[in-house]
Structure 1
Amino acid sequence: MPYSATFNTEQVTNYIVNWLSRYAENAKVKGFVVGISGGIDSAVTSTLCARTGLPTLCVEMPIHQAESHVSRAREHIASLKERYSNVSGTLADLTPVFETLRQQVPVTENRHLQDLTLANTRARLRMATLYYFAGINSALVAGTGNKVEDFGVGFFTKYGDGGVDISPIADLVKSEVRELARYLGVPQSIIEARPTDGLFGDDRSDEDQLGASYDELEWAMKAMGEGKTENDFDGRQKDVFNIYKRLNAANQHKMIPIPVCKIPENLK
């Protein structure tokens, strides 16, 4: 079920599409660029951009990608191009770029930190690629993060998939994104796929990394917003609440503005 009982897919869709159109017009740009991962968030975001009627470029950026991700991404782009004449697609194979960079940086004994850092490097290579396409097309980079990822647990890469011009679905939790996906005609294979960030070259899911499902994290986000604490729960609910609380605290550096050292006037 959506986060809100009053969630109206048609009205929300129209609101976001109008918001995107107005923003593009005010920014004096021609359209949008969206990175397509084969996941539901990028599928919904690109469809919303397409519905503005403005040029929407869908970019595939595989880096040692699992075949399931590639096939879903291509299925979505093909479906979108059939339905919207303003949609185009392109492929930027970043695997050789990633490998070249990896050969130029030192290896560390801490394999976990190295794997995590390289995963974030993939996201940052993709961000740079999206901004290249946005630059040559006078377009905006549309972010694909949802509310739980962007403002709940901080499940994104700083200056990677977090580096965008606009965030059309960042005020929607995952269940609401799913509702929009059904309404927008996103392929069923994408709606049913387990969410994954695709940053490790395998098929591990977001839940594998986070320790909780998005439905559980939505519940915890709502509970914390209502002033609940871990003492209000037990069993699995208590575990999930603590997972959410820990990730929310640890990733505040992604969700707040960059700290600026303000110099006292008397020192200037």
Structure 2
Amino acid sequence: MNDIQQNIIKELHVKPTINVKEEVREIIDFLKGYKYNHDFIKSFVLGISGGQDSTLLGKFAQMAVEELRTEGKEIEFYAVRLPYGEQLDSQDVDDAIIFIQPDYDVTINIKESVDSGVKALNDAGFNISDFVIGNEKARERMKVQYAIAADKKGVVLGSDHAAEAITGFYTKFGDGAADLMPLTGLNKHQGQQILKYLNCPEHLYLKIPTADLESDRPLLSDEEALQVSYGHIDDFLEGKEVPKEAFNRILHLYKTSQHKRDKAYHRYNLPQNMEE
């Protein structure tokens, strides 16, 4: 393992192996601790897509609020379905909700709001591509979650994790925006380990990951979009050797997505090369 790989692993807080039982306890306690430190918070809010990550975090959220209520704390969990029109894998969302058993199962269809925004931009002379519309969907979903959180005195949970963080495979100010990121440090197969331990239906955690943001390429797999497998990403994050082509692709994605992991620049924190 070279220094670059080691530094990335340290930055993203990835453990080479996890104790699943301890990891479950740590993440639930993290969520509970936030409530104890901010008792004015009355809810957790999370969008549920039917994929591995939101299913895992949704289960953690419900487990945390149930424990908190036994400890005398007032808090609820809102699981939010956010389809754009008809969701092709809606059965997986149904199955995830059954597994999570959230306090509230809410559906907000974002199609009308996204389409109206895109139309306004097109009418103003901007050419909004299908890829950019995908980002608009992600940002609209986050906007809806924050609106629900505002009404219910809540905080928004984000399901970003190390295997997405290293590649920047999320929308800036979309699914990359949240108040709490409890899955930080986990990679894909570690998330699968935890879901298996929690008795999640196998088809949910073995499902091919997809952001499903592009209408022209519905259910496009993450790995096809990234041009590298999660297996190689996970191995990289665990300090293992990966094929040179995969190693170079991961480094390229990491470097070109650095702006997503950085805080916004202001006039007093510009990098040296930008000041020259």
- Residue 195 of structure 2: aligned partner: 181
Change (3 A) 1:108 1:215: farther
Aligned to 1:76: 96
Provide the residue aligned with 2:258 in structure 1: 252
Q: Alpha carbons of 1:205 and 1:65: their partners in 2 closer, same or farther (altered >3 Å)?
A: farther
Report the CA distance between 1:30 and its aligned residue: 1.4
Counterpart CA distance in 2 for 1:163 and 1:245 is 23
Which of 202, 223, 229 lines up with 1:213 in the alignment?
229
- Report whether the alignment pairs 1:119 with 2:125: no
Question: Which letter does structure 2 place at the counterpart of 1:58?
Answer: A
| Structure 1, unaligned runs of 5 or more | 264-268
Report the TM-score, using the length of structure 1 for normalisation: 0.84
Instruction: State the AA in 2 paired with 1:40.
Output: Q
Aligned residues: 244
Counterpart code for 1:18:
D
Kindly provide the amino acid, as one letter, of the partner of residue 204 in structure 2.
Answer: I
Matched, 1:60 2:81: yes
Residue identity matched to 2:55: A
- Identical amino acids, percent of aligned pairs: 25
Q: What is the aligned partner in structure 1 of residue 148 from structure 2?
A: 133
Give the conservation status (yes or no) of the 8 Å contact 1:65–1:198.
no
Preserved CA contact (<8 Å) 2:187 2:237: no
Matched, 1:203 2:201: no
C-alpha distance in 2, partners of 1:25/1:260? 33
Q: CA 1:20/1:130 → structure 2, altered by over 3 Å: closer, same or farther?
A: same
* RMSD of aligned alpha carbons: 2.3
- Alignment map for 1:13-24 (pairs within 5 Å): 13-24=24-35
Q: Secondary structure at the match of 1:140?
A: strand
Gaps of 5+ in 2: 1-13, 67-74, 270-276
* Alpha-carbon offset, residue 66 of structure 1: 3.9
Decide whether the 8 Å contact of 1:220 with 1:240 is kept in 2. Answer: no
Q: Tell me: CA distance 1:194–1:217, structure 2 relative to 1, closer, same or farther (3 Å).
A: same
TM-score, normalised relative to structure 2:
0.82
Which amino acid in the other structure matches residue 246 of structure 1?
A: H
CA 96–239 in structure 1, closer or farther in 2 if over 3 Å, else same: same
Give the aligned residue type for 1:188: E
Letter aligned with residue 193 of structure 2: E
Moved more, 41-50 or 86-95: 86-95
Moved more, 101-110 or 34-43: 101-110
Give the drift of 1:106. Answer: 2.0
